[in-house]
């Protein structure tokens, strides 16, 4: 992303299925809603990727390291982007 202009985005994500699956792995309280993530991205695809990484990192901090792969797979399978909004500056 060198010398590329970034845009502020708000990404709305669906985590209901993710949270249900994480409860099966033993993690009860992970994130609190509403699930809008603010990111700065080069384009909409980059913004969605960065939102995914933010959620992933937040959840991984609460899991033992030996479950990180399961957490990642759960996110990849069940997390959905619902809406992407450009934030005016």
pLDDT tens per residue across span 43-83: 999 999 999 999 888 877 777 676 677 777 888 898 899 99
- Within 10 angstroms of residue 31's Cβ, the number of other Cβ atoms is 15
pLDDT at 20: 83
CB 55 within 8 A of CB 78: no
Does residue 42 register a pLDDT over 70?
yes
pLDDT at 1: 47
**DSSP tag of 79:** -
**Least trusted range by pLDDT, from 2-11, 37-46, 68-77:** 68-77
Across all residues in the chain, what is the average pLDDT? 83
């Amino acid at each position: 992303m060198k010398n590329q202009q970034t845009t502020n985005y708000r990404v709305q994500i669906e985590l209901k299925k993710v949270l249900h699956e994480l409860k099966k792995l033993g993690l009860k309280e992970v994130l609190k809603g509403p699930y809008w993530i603010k990111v700065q991205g080069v384009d909409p695809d980059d913004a969605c990727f960065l939102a995914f990484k933010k959620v992933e990192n937040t959840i991984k901090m609460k899991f033992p390291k030996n479950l990180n792969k399961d957490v990642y797979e759960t996110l990849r399978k069940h997390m959905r982007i619902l809406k992407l909004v450009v934030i005016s500056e």
